[in-house]
């Protein structure tokens, strides 16, 4: 079994790899890009040349009140998304009902009312029912 020769990397290359790591590039990507075979090599360079393993990642520091407010806002967003989904379903149901009524009565309710079903309808049935 033949051993591969030991690769020696320049100081400049090591520092370049560490700099890219600190900018957010993954160790795996760096190993592939520079042809670094050993698993712990880049990690050793980071410990030796890096700024204490610093990475350009966003860290959110929140007070307990901020965390509670954030959770409340997420909950409110879920409620509003649910209400929106319900409204969309109701709207589709009403449109389908109107289409079925149009087909069975041979009318075009959308055209008659100008697309506004609740106000100013000129349909006799709506006028007799009090504009509903």
Residue at 121 is within a domain: no
Residue at 67 is within a domain: yes
Residue at 126 is within a domain: no
pLDDT in tens, 87-128: 999 999 999 999 999 999 888 877 776 655 555 445 555 444
Q: Are residues 68 and 45 in the same domain?
A: no
Helix (H), strand (E), coil (C) string for the chain: CCCCCCCCCCHHHHHHHHHHHHCCCCHHHHHHHHCCCCCCHHHHHHHHHCCCCCCCCCCCCCCHHHHHHHHHHHHHHHHHHHHHHHHHHHHHHHHHHHHHHHHHHCCCHHHHHCCCCCCCCCCHHHHHCCCC
**CB under 8 Å to 117, separation ≥6 — which residues?**
94, 98, 109
Residue at 81 is within a domain: yes
Q: What is the pTM of this model?
A: 0.41
- Provide the pLDDT for residue 112: 72
Residue at 117 is within a domain: no
Q: Domain range for residue 27?
A: 11-49
pLDDT in tens, 3-54: 777 788 899 999 999 989 888 889 999 999 999 888 889 989 888 888 865 6
Residue at 55 is within a domain: no
Q: Please give the tally of structural domains in the chain.
A: 2
């Amino acid at each position: 079994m033949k051993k591969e020769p030991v690769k020696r990397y320049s100081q400049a290359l090591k520092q370049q790899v560490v700099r890219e790591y600190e900018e957010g590039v993954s160790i795996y990507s760096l190993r592939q890009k520079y042809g670094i075979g050993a698993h712990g090599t880049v990690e050793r360079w980071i410990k030796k040349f890096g700024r204490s393993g610093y990475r350009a990642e966003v860290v959110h520091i929140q007070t307990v009140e901020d965390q509670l407010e954030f959770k409340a806002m997420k909950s409110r967003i879920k409620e509003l998304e649910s209400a929106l989904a319900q409204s969309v379903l109701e709207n589709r149901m009403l449109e389908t009902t109107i289409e079925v009524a149009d087909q069975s009565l041979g009318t075009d309710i959308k055209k008659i009312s100008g697309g506004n079903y609740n106000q100013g309808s000129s349909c006799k049935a709506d006028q007799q029912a009090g504009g509903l």
